[in-house]
């Protein structure tokens, strides 16, 4: 993982993680589009990702069509967690 955060927000560093997924196959076979899922790593600003003050949050949403929208979605999701807008998710222990 690159140690340069994609975004800094309210004292936290955000690192989007994007994963290529295999779309469901259907018949008749068509060329499937690229699909991506995403997660975001949130850690306290200035702390190394993977340390004690780090947590990974997975987005439970429909796949994105490209890497750019998946990255932007992951960063937005991280900001929403920090703002307390995602039920059941919190950065209070970081």
Kindly report the length of the chain.
94
Q: Note whether residue 90 is domain-resident.
A: no
Cβ count near 68 (within 10 Å): 11
Q: Note whether residue 44 is domain-resident.
A: yes
Q: Note whether residue 61 is domain-resident.
A: yes
Domain carrying residue 46: 7-23+30-82
Residue 2 has pLDDT above 60, yes or no: no
Confidence of residue 87 (pLDDT cuts 50, 70, 90): very high
Q: What is the pLDDT of residue 24?
A: 65
Q: Note whether residue 1 is domain-resident.
A: no
d(CA 16, CA 38) in angstroms, rounded, equals 7
Q: Note whether residue 94 is domain-resident.
A: no
Please indicate, yes or no, whether the overall pTM of this predicted structure exceeds 0.85. Answer: no
Span 12-65, pLDDT tens digits: 999 999 999 876 666 666 555 668 999 999 999 988 888 888 999 999 887 888
Q: Note whether residue 92 is domain-resident.
A: no
- β partners of residue 64: 36
> In which region does residue 10 sit, left (phi positive, over 0), alpha (psi from -120 to 50) or beta (all else)?
left
Domain count, the chain: 1
Q: Note whether residue 50 is domain-resident.
A: yes
Dig out the tokens for 20 from the structure.
């290529």
């Amino acid at each position: 993982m690159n140690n340069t955060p994609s975004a800094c927000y309210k004292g936290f560093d955000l690192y989007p993680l994007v994963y290529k997924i295999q779309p469901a196959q259907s018949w008749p076979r068509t060329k499937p589009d690229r699909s991506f899922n995403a997660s975001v790593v949130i850690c306290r600003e200035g702390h190394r990702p993977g340390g004690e003050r780090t947590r990974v949050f997975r987005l439970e949403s429909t796949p994105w069509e490209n890497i750019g929208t998946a990255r932007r979605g992951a960063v937005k999701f991280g900001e929403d967690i920090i703002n307390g807008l995602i039920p059941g998710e919190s950065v209070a222990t970081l």
